[in-house]
Amino acid sequence: MDESGGRRRFLKSVGALGAASMPAAAVAQHAAHAPAKSEKYMFLAPAEVAFLDAAVARLIPADDLGPGAKEAGVTYFIDQQLFGGYGVMAKMYRQGPHAEGTPQQGYQSPLTPQEVYRTAIAEINGACAKQYGESFDKLATAQQDEVLHALDEGKFPLDAVPARFFFNMLLDNTVEGFFSDPIYGGNRGKIGWKLVGFPGVAAVYTPYIEKHGVPYDALPVSIEDILQGKSALDEHGHPKHVLLVRKD
């Protein structure tokens, strides 16, 4: 069948025992409509979910290239991270005394990421209500961008932590949620990996690495796929990637 760009694509499996071939259109549909997980939030309150849904949708927006961070489930990813070890500073040094230090000395806040999100979101929503009469999630996207830029540039007045400290944490976690394995609740439908062409869990690349300049268009495979038995594996547990081979 013909696809946009005048390229005819068909599927070929890697290795002798690859998955059955599927028409390209079916693959595309399968990819775009991965079933949404039921979100059982462990840490975030509804107002915080609304804030993060709105904020991550501006940081990585849905556009003509495809879905963005909100559709990828990044809010849920952040919730799960905050509830887990990351949110309470597991493996981090927490003893005092605390001082703000220089930028070169890094994270010095006594607040855990849980506390940072909770206090910063409340402060930002309070300030938005004062200035615009609405919480952040209800603002027009241009106003939301204004707020996010002010946070990014350290011009938004936050009390509990410096504005840029919170913004960097939010951006870092958003990128993590967009590109990490779907097992953590983000990158739903492997949206992030499909956007950039990353195959996820690696196959044996020995036969491919010296094919210089040849695209390797694989359906990405996640840890979650493998645990659910959705990918054929070799004897070391590497997935056998299903390749979309371009024939011009």
Partner 1 sequence: MATKLKAVDVVVVGVGLSGSILAKELAEAGLQVVGLERGRWRNTDPDFAMPYAHDELRYVKRHELMQDLSRETLTFRNNAKETALPMRRLGSFRPGEGVGGAAVHWGGLTWRFLPWDFETRSRTLARYGKEQWPEDCTSQDWGVTYDELEPHFDRFEHLYGISGKAGNLKGKVIPGGNPFEGPRSREYPNPPLKTSYAGALFKDAAQKLGYHPFPTPSAANSQPYTNEYGATINACVYCGYCQFFGCEMGAKASPQTAVLPNLMKQKGFELRTHANVVKVNLDSAKKRAVGVTYIDSRGREFEQPADLVLLTSYVFNNVRLMLLSGIGKPYDPVANTGVVGRNYAYQTPSSVTLFFEDKIFNQFMAAGGLGMTIDDFNGDNFDHTGLGFIGGGFFQAATSGARPIEVRPVPRGTPRWGAEWKRAVAKYFNRSFGIAIQGACQSHRGNYLDLDATYRDSYGLPLLRMTFDRTQNEHKMSTYITNKAAEIAKAIGPSKMNVTPRLEKYTIVPYQSTHNTGGAAMGADPATSAVNKYLQSWDVPNVFVVGASAFPQNGGYNPTGTVGALTFHALAAIKTRYLKRPGPLA
Point out which residues bind partner 1 (CB under 8 A).
Answer: 58-61, 63, 65, 68, 85-86, 89-95, 97, 99, 101-108, 145, 148, 152, 171, 174-176, 179-181, 183-184, 192-193, 195-206, 208-210, 212-216, 223, 226-227, 233, 236-239
Minimum Å gap between C-beta 134 and partner 1 is 21
Residue 22 Cβ, how far from partner 1 at the closest point, in Å? 22
Residue closer to partner 1, measured from CB, 93 or 130:
93
Q: How far is the CB of 105 from partner 1 (least distance, A)?
A: 5
Ramachandran angles phi, psi of 244, nearest 5°: -90, 110
Closer residue to partner 1, CB minimum distance, 37 or 107: 107
CB of 27 to partner 1, least distance (A): 19
Question: Which two structure tokens, joined as six digits, stand for 138?
Answer: 């209800």
If the CB atoms of residues 38 and 206 are measured against partner 1, the closer one turns out to be: 206
Nearer to partner 1, 108 or 131 (CB): 108
Q: Which is nearer to partner 1, 30 or 98 (CB)?
A: 98
* Min dist. Cβ of residue 20 to partner 1 (A): 21
- Exposure b/e, 162-194, CB count within 10 A at least 16 = b: bbbbbbebbbebbbbbbbbbbebbbbbbbbbbb
* Cα 165 from Cα 152, distance rounded (Å): 9
Structure tokens at 46: 């509804």
Distance CA 160, CA 213 (A): 50
CA distance 99 to 169: 19
Least Cα distance to 68 among 159, 206, 186 occurs for: 186
Residues in Cβ contact with 148 at an 8 Å cutoff, skipping those fewer than 6 apart: 55, 58, 59, 167
